[in-house]
Structure 1
Amino acid sequence: MPRFRAPGWWNYTLLRLEDHDRVLYVGAREAIFALDPSDISRQLRAPVEWQAPPEKKRECVSKGKSNQTECFNYIRFLQSYNQTHLYSCGTYAFQPKCTYINTEGFTLNSAALEDGKGKCPYDPAKGHTGLIVDKELYSATLNTFLGTEPVILRSLGQQHYTMKSEHLPTWLNEPDFVASALVEESRGSPEGDDDKIYFFFSERAQELDCDSELTVARVARICKGDVGGTRTLQKKWTTFQKARLMCSLPERHVTFNNLRTVYTVSQPDWRNTAFYGIFHAQWGDVDVSVVCQYRIADVRKVFEGAYKELREPSQRWGRYTGAVPSPRPGACITRWHRENGYNSSLQLPDATLSFAKKHPLMEEQAQARPLLLTKGINFTQLAVDQVIALDQRVYSVLFIGTAHGWLQRAVILGSEAHVIEEIQLFESPQPVDSLTISHLTKSLYVGSRTEVLQLPLANCSRYQSSPDCLLSRDPYCAWDNEGRTCVRVDQHRGSTSTLIQDLLLDRFSRGNAKFEKPVSIPSPEHSVLRNVTVVVGSDLVLPCQLVSNLAQPSWLLNERELVLSPEGAVGARFDRALRALVIPDAGPMQAGRYTCYSEEQGVRFQTERFQVTVVASAPVVMKARAPDASMGLFWVLVITLGAACLLLMGVALYLRRRLKLALGKGAEMKPLESTLVYPITLPKEPPTFVPSKMSGDEDRFWETGGNYYYSDGSLKIVPGHALCPGGSSAPPSTIPGQPIHSPSRLSLTNIRGSGSNGYIRLNMSAAGEERAGGGGAGGGGLGAGGSLGNDYTSPFKEELLRTLQQRSVLPDANPEESSV
Structure 2
Amino acid sequence: MWPDTAKSHQLSPPVSQYGAGISACSVVDGEYKSFTLQNVPGFTLWLLGCNHFRGAAVNYSTLLLEDGPGLLYVGAREAIYKLDTSNISDTSISLSLEWAASAEQKRQCLSKGKNNQTECYNHVRFLDRYNDTHMYTCGTHAFRPRCAYIDVARFTFVRFEEGKEKCPYDPTKGYTGFIIDGEMYSASQYEFRNIPDIRRNFPFPNLRTDNSPTSWLLDFVGSALLRESINSSIGDDDKLYFFFTERNTEPTAYSSQTKVARVARVCKGDIGGQRSLQRKWTSFLKARLVCAIPDYELYFNVFTFLRFTSHHSHFILFLTARRNVKMSAVCQYSFRDVQTAFDGPYMELQDTKWREYTGTVPEPRPGSCITDQHRALLINSSRDLPDNVLNFTQRHALMSRQIQPVGGRPVLLQRSADYTKIAVKQVVGLDGRVYDMLFIGTDEGWLHRAVKISDRVHIIEELQLFEEKQPINNMVISQKQNRIYVSAASGVVQVPLSSCERYTSCYDCVFARDPFCGWDGRACAEIAAYANRSSLIQDVQMGSRGCTNITSDGFVMHRTRAVMAGDDMLLQCEIRSNLATPHWTLNGQVMLGYGVDFGYRTGTDGLLIIGAQNQQSGHYRCYAVENGVWVPVRSYMVRVQPVPPPASHLSGSPTALPETMYISLVAVLGGLCLVLTVVLLYVSFCARNSPSARKYSQQALSITTATERKRSSHFELKTISSHCNGRTEGRSRAMSRDGEFLQIIPADIQTTPSKEPPPAPPLPMPPPLPASEYANGLSATLPSVLRKMNGNSYVLLRQTDSEMTSPLYHSFTEELNRILEKRKHTQLDIQPDESSV
Q: Which TM-score applies when normalising by structure 1?
A: 0.69
Query: Where does residue 176 of structure 2 map in the other structure?
Result: 129
How far off its partner does 1:501 sit?
Answer: 2.5
For the 8 Å contact 1:94–1:122, the answer to whether it is kept is: yes
Deviations 1:163-185 (A, max 9, x none): 11112245x61410000011101
**In 2, distance between residues paired with 1:235 and 1:190?**
29
Q: Equivalents in 1 of 2:114, 2:492: separation in Å?
A: 28
How much does 1:564 deviate? 4.8
Amino acid in structure 1 at the alignment position of 2:590? E
| Structure-2 change in CA distance of 1:7 and 1:474 (3 Å) | closer
My pick for the range that moved more, 221-230 or 591-600, is 591-600
Given the superposition, is the C-alpha separation of residues 7 and 25 from structure 1 closer, same or farther in structure 2, using an over 3 Å criterion? closer
Q: Deviations over 1:482-521 (max 9, x none)?
A: xx322212222x312222322222974xxxxx658x6437
Corresponding position: 1:549 with 2:578: yes
Q: How far apart, in 2, do the equivalents of 1:426 and 1:87 lie?
A: 30
Kindly provide the amino acid, as one letter, of the partner of residue 188 in structure 1.
Answer: N
Question: SS state of the match for residue 59, structure 1?
Answer: helix
Map 1:293-332 onto structure 2 (within 5 A). 293-311=332-350, 314-332=351-369
Q: Which of residues 196, 201, 204 in structure 1 aligns to 2:239?
A: 196
Describe how 1:389-400 pairs up with structure 2 within 5 A.
389-400=429-440
Per the alignment, residue 794 of structure 2 pairs with: none
Mapping of residues 31-70 of structure 1, within 5 Å: 31-43=79-91, 44-70=93-119
Offset, 1:538: 4.6
Where in structure 1 are there 5+ consecutive unaligned residues?
Answer: 509-513, 619-820
Partner of 2:607: 581
Identify if the C-alpha distance between structure 1 residues 163 and 564 changes in structure 2 by more than 3 Å, giving closer, same or farther. same
Looking at structure 2, the residues matched to 196 and 538 of structure 1 have their Cα atoms a distance apart, in angstroms, of 73
**Does structure 1 residue 600 correspond to structure 2 residue 626?**
yes
Counterpart position of 1:138: 185
Note the C-alpha offset of 1:592: 3.9
SS of the equivalent of 2:326 reads strand
Tell me how far 1:612 sits from its aligned partner.
3.9
Question: CA deviation digits over 1:123-143, x for unaligned, max 9?
Answer: 111100001111111100102
Distance in 2 (alpha carbons) for counterparts of 1:571 and 1:132: 69
Q: Distance in 2 between matches of 1:446 and 1:241?
A: 34
Q: Tell me which amino acid in the other structure corresponds to 1:26.
A: V
Tell me which amino acid in the other structure corresponds to 2:197.
Answer: V
**Which residue of the other structure, out of 335, 356, 378, is the alignment partner of 1:341?**
378
- Give 1:213 shift: 6.9
Structure 2 CA distance for partners of 1:271 and 1:519, relative to 1, 3 Å: farther
- Counterpart position of 1:155: 201
Matched, 1:167 2:204: no
CA contact 2:55–2:491 (8 Å) conserved in 1: no
Residue 60 of structure 1: how far off its partner (Å): 0.8
Deviation by residue 1:532-581 (Cα, 9 ceiling, x = unmatched): 45555554223322242221211223443222528x997533323xx232
Q: 1:91 to 1:264 in 2, by over 3 A?
A: same
Q: 1:486 to 1:45 in 2, by over 3 A?
A: closer
Give the aligned partner of residue 488 of structure 1: 526
Secondary structure class of the residue paired with 1:290: strand
Q: Which residue, 289, 297, 306 being the options, matches 1:256?
A: 297
What is the CA-CA distance between 1:66 and the residue it aligns to? 0.7
Query: Displacement of 1:363 after TM fit?
Result: 0.3
Match status 1:30 vs 2:78: yes
In structure 2, C-alpha distance between the alignment counterparts of 1:549 and 1:46, rounded to whole Å = 42
1:326-370: CA deviations, max 9, x gaps? 111100001111121000000000000000111110000110110
The equivalent residue for 1:562 is 591
SS at match of 2:222: strand
* Aligned partner of residue 166 in structure 1, secondary structure: coil
| Equivalent residues of 1:85, 1:102 under 8 A apart | yes
Q: Structure 1 233/430 Cα, relative in aligned 2: closer, same or farther at 3 Å?
A: same
Contact 2:511 2:543 survives alignment (8 Å): no
Name which of structure 1's ranges 468-477 and 291-300 shifts more when overlaid on structure 2: 468-477
Letter in 1 for 2:84: D
8 Å contact kept, 1:9–1:28: yes
Q: Which moved more, 1:390-399 or 1:205-214?
A: 205-214
Aligned equivalents of 2:343, 2:584: Cα separation in 1: 60
Task: Give the structure 2 partner of residue 520 of structure 1.
Answer: 551
* Segment drifting more, 257-266 vs 228-237: 257-266
Indicate if the aligned counterparts of 2:438 and 2:451 stay in contact, CA closer than 8 A: yes
Structure 1, residues 85-107: CA drift from partner, whole Å, max 9, x if none? Answer: 11111111111111111111111
Residue 480 of structure 1 aligns with an amino acid whose one-letter code is D
Shift of 1:287: 1.4
Name the SS for the 1:362 alignment partner. Answer: coil
1:392-791 matches, cutoff 5 A = 392-481=432-521, 484-492=522-530, 494-505=531-542, 508=545, 519-520=550-551, 524=555, 527-534=556-563, 536-565=565-594, 571-576=599-604, 579-614=605-640
Map 1:347-358 onto structure 2 (within 5 A): 347-358=384-395
Cα distance in 2 for partners of 1:40, 1:570 equals 58
Give the drift of 1:590. 3.8
Q: Which amino acid aligns with 2:330?
A: V
Contact 2:237 2:267 in 1 (8 A): yes
Residue 292 of structure 1 deviates from its aligned partner by: 0.2
1:256/1:279 contact within 8 Å kept: no
- Judge conservation of contact 1:596–1:607 (CA < 8 Å) in 2: yes
Matching of residue 86 in structure 1 with residue 126 in structure 2: no
> 2-side partners of 1:88 and 1:183: how far apart?
23
CA distance in 2, matches of 1:256, 1:265: 23
Contact 2:83 2:95 in 1 (8 A): no
Residues paired across the two proteins, number: 591
Do 1:94 and 1:145's aligned partners in 2 also have CA atoms closer than 8 Å? no
Identify the residue that residue 762 of structure 1 maps to in structure 2.
none
Return the alpha-carbon distance in structure 1 between the equivalents of residues 80 and 95 of structure 2: 9
- Would you say the 8 A contact 2:318–2:419 is kept in 1? yes
- Go from structure 1 to structure 2 and tell me whether the alpha carbon gap of 1:538 and 1:183 turns closer, same or farther (over 3 Å shift): farther
Contact 2:563 2:641 (C-alpha < 8 Å) held by counterparts: yes
CA distance in 1, matches of 2:552, 2:146: 61
1:41 is paired with a residue whose SS is: coil
* Aligned positions of 1:211-290 closer than 5 A: 214-249=258-293, 252=294, 254-267=295-308, 269-282=309-322, 284=324, 286-290=325-329
Does residue 178 (structure 1) correspond to residue 221 (structure 2)? The answer is yes
1:542 and 1:336, CA in 2 relative to 1: closer, same or farther beyond 3 A?
same
Alignment match, 2:704: none
* Contact 1:205/1:212 (8 A) holds in 2: no
State TM-score, norm by structure 2.
0.67
Task: Write the letter of the residue equivalent to 2:183.
Answer: E
- CA RMSD, 1 decimal: 2.4
Distance in 2 separating the partners of 1:588 and 1:521 = 26
- Cα distance in structure 2, aligned partners of 1:58 and 1:535: 75
Q: Percent identity between the aligned chains?
A: 44
Amino acid at match of 2:120: C
Look up the match of 1:800. none
Secondary structure of the residue aligned to 1:468 is helix
Report the CA distance between 1:195 and its aligned residue.
Answer: 0.6
